Amino acid sequence: MAQTFSLSGANGVSDIHIGTGLLRNAASLILDTFSPSRVHIVTDTTVAPLYLDTLKAQFSLPVSETLIPAGEEHKRLSTVESIYHDLLKNGMTRKDLIIALGGGVVGDITGFAAATFLRGVSLCQIPTTLLAQVDSSVGGKTGVDLPEGKNLVGAFYQPRLVLIDPSVLSTLPDATFADGMAEVVKYGYIANKEILSLSAKTDYRQHIEQIICECVKIKRDVVAIDEHDTGLRMILNFGHTIGHAAEKLGNYVDLTHGQAVAIGMVCATKLAAERGGEDLSTPLIALLTHLGLPTVLSYDREAIFEALLSDKKKFGGTINFILVREPGRAEITPLPAEELHELILKL
C-alpha cells in the first residue's frame, strides 16, 4: 500500500509517493499530475538497462531520453548542457515533463536542467538509490560540481512529483546500499529513534519501505520549515561537518560519502561526550558496524580541523555543529573555532 506525503515549497507542492512496485505504475501517477505532450527521461548508463524500458513502455505519448555516464565526475555543467541540447532536439516545451530516473547524481543534474531550461520545466524525480530515496530526491536542492568544489552551482527547485519504489534497491551493490543507510542512521539520531531500532534488526532490509517513509517524513518536515537552508535544515548535517573534512582528505576516493558520514557521526557523538553530554558513541558504533559502515577516523586531527575550517569559512569564528543530546533529539550548536579545534585534537 503506497503512502503519500506532501511538501509545500516556494514554487508549489511536491507530492511524494512511496510504495513497492510503484515504478510499474509510474506513468498513470505521472499523468494524473501532469498533462505533457511529451516526456524526456534523464538516466545513467547503469540504471538505463535496469529500469528505463519499464518506465518508457508505460507511455503512449512521445518519450525521449538522455543517458549520462554514471558517476559523480559527470555531475558538471557540460552534462547539463548536453541535456539542454537533447531537450531542444526533441522539441521539449515549457508544458512538457522532465523525469530524473537514477541516484543522487542524476537527480541533482536533472533537477538543475529542469530548473533552468526555458526558465523552468515540470520535474518528476524517480530515485533509484537508497540515498536518493531518503534524501536527495526530496527537498528541491539541485546542482552540479565545479573543479573548485562540490555542489557550487545550483538552484532550489521542488519536483512536483517524487515516486519512490523500494523494489529498485534490490539491484544496488551492497556498498551503495550501506552508503544510504548512513543517512538513515543520521535521521534516526536527529529525529526518530524508531528508525534506529528498525535498522538494528537482522532483517532490516525487509523493513526498508517503512524506514524510507520515516526518513522522508523527517526531511519533509525540516524542508517545510527551512526550504532555503538558512536555519533548521542544517540539522540534516549531523555527521557531515567532520565527514566532509574526512572525504576531502581522502580526495573523495578513499571514503564514499556514506562512509565519511558514518565516521563523522561517531566523531560528533564523542565530541558531545567531551562537552559533558551522554556518550552515545558505543551503540552508534555497534549499529554502523552491523550495517557494514566504518567508524574509525584515520586522518590526522590537525588536518581534519584545517579541512573543516576551509569548508566552513563563511561562518567566521563560529562553526554550527550538530550535537545529538539523546537518540532522536539533535541541536544546532554554534561552537567557537578554538573550542572545536581542542575537541577535535582529543578525538
Query: Which stretches of the chain bind ligand NAD, using CB under 6 A?
Result: 44, 46-47, 50, 70, 72, 75, 102-106, 108, 128-129, 131-132, 135-136, 139, 141, 150-151, 168, 171-172, 176, 179
Which residue, 236 or 335, has its beta carbon nearer to ligand NAD? 236
**Minimum CB distance to ligand NAD smaller for 96 or for 247:** 247
Compute the least distance from the CB of residue 154 to ligand NAD, in Å: 8
The Cα 233–Cα 92 span in angstroms is 34
Cα 250 → chain centroid: 20
Sign of CA dihedral 240, 246, 252, 258: negative
Residue (109 or 271) nearer to ligand NAD, CB: 109
Q: Shortest gap between Cβ of 272 and ligand NAD (angstroms)?
A: 23
Minimum distance between the CB of residue 93 and ligand NAD, rounded to whole angstroms?
A: 26
**What is the side-by-side strand order in the sheet with 3-9?**
3-9, 12-18, 161-164, 122-127, 97-102, 39-44, 63-68
Q: How far is the CB of 179 from ligand NAD (least distance, A)?
A: 6
Q: Which is nearer to ligand NAD, 158 or 269 (CB)?
A: 158
Residue 72 CB, nearest approach to ligand NAD (Å)? 5
- Least spacing, CB of residue 32 vs ligand NAD, in Å: 24
How far lies 20's CA from each of 164, 210, 230, 306, in Å? 8, 11, 34, 44
Alpha-carbon span 156 to 256, nearest angstrom: 25
Of 85, 99, 98, the residue nearest 47 (C-alpha): 99
Cβ neighbours of 76 (radius 10 Å): 15
Nearest residue (CB) to ligand NAD, 129 versus 158: 129
| 233/270 with CB nearer ligand NAD | 233
57-64 — which CB contacts under 8 Å span 24+ positions? 58/24, 58/25, 58/26, 58/27, 58/28, 59/27, 61/36, 61/37, 62/37, 62/38, 62/90, 63/38, 63/39, 64/38, 64/39, 64/40, 64/89, 64/90, 64/92
Sole residue written with cell 559527470: 74
* Smallest distance from ligand NAD to CB 191, Å: 16
Q: Which is nearer to ligand NAD, 136 or 192 (CB)?
A: 136
Nearer to ligand NAD, 155 or 347 (CB): 155
Residues 347, 270 contacting (CB under 8 angstroms): yes
Closest to ligand NAD by CB, 173 or 336? 173
Q: How far is the CB of 282 from ligand NAD (least distance, A)?
A: 28
Minimum CB separation of residue 204 from ligand NAD in Å reads 18
Distance CA 6, CA 3 (A): 10
Task: Confirm if 209 and 216 have CB atoms less than 8 A apart.
Answer: no
Look at residue 326 and give its three-state secondary structure.
strand
